[in-house]
Amino acid sequence: MSTRDYEAMFILEHAAATADFEATSGIVDQILEKHGAKIDQKEKWDERKLAYEIKGQRRGTYYLTYFTAEPSAIDNINEDVQLTEAILRHMVIALDVPIAQHIETTSTERELLAEDSRKNSLGGWGGRRDRRAGSARKSEGSGGDAEAAPSADAPKADAPKAEAVAETSTPDQTASE
């Protein structure tokens, strides 16, 4: 069976994760590796208040990983994760694009949407404002082609990358302020 790329988010118990993040996230890594997953990237995604209580906890630490594994291993991973008390909840999503491309695309798109909401927040959608500054919006670099596959070594922050900002933003967009 061929391997597939996956994106998995784990909600770790806040107390354990703040005390020693390496150890707690290490538990997750161990489970993944035990079933033959090759972890591509991993990062502490956020520490936040949960929208609702999970297992009596109100805060959680989010741990995001991208890994490659055989599809048959996922069931086993789920089983092990459910038995782990330090992991409150998890979700594994199969990706249909390569990991690097997916990360690049999502960060670019998040920046595009943020910019769009900034431009259009003062009421009215597009119209005069957009037509005036329309020509200034250059290629958005929405990653249909894996043009800039970033290095997979270091854990990457999921924030908008500098190059994505440079691609989309232009000096003319101050018209919306």
Partner 1 sequence: MASNTKLKNIRKLLKKRTERSKCRFTRARVYDIDWKDVATLQKMISQQGKIYGQKRTGTRSHFQRKLKNAIKRARFMALLPYVGR
User: How many residues belong to the site for partner 1 (CB under 8 A)?
Assistant: 36
Residue number with CB closer to partner 1 (1 or 127): 127
Angle at 62 between CA 61 and CA 64, to 5 degrees: 150
| Binding of partner 1 by 175 (CB under 8 A) | no
All residues at 6 or more sequence positions from 40 whose CB lies less than 8 Å from its CB, including other chains? 5, 66, 67, 68, 99, 152
Segment contacting partner 1 by CB under 8 A, of 19-27, 28-36, 68-76, 138-146: 138-146
CB atoms within 10 A of CB 51: 7
| Binding of partner 1 by 110 (CB under 8 A) | yes
Structure tokens at 52: 């609702």
Residue number with CB closer to partner 1 (39 or 50): 50
Q: Choose which of 68, 76, 84, 142 interacts with partner 1 (CB under 8 A).
A: 142
| Binding of partner 1 by 47 (CB under 8 A) | no
Residue 170: what residue type?
Answer: T
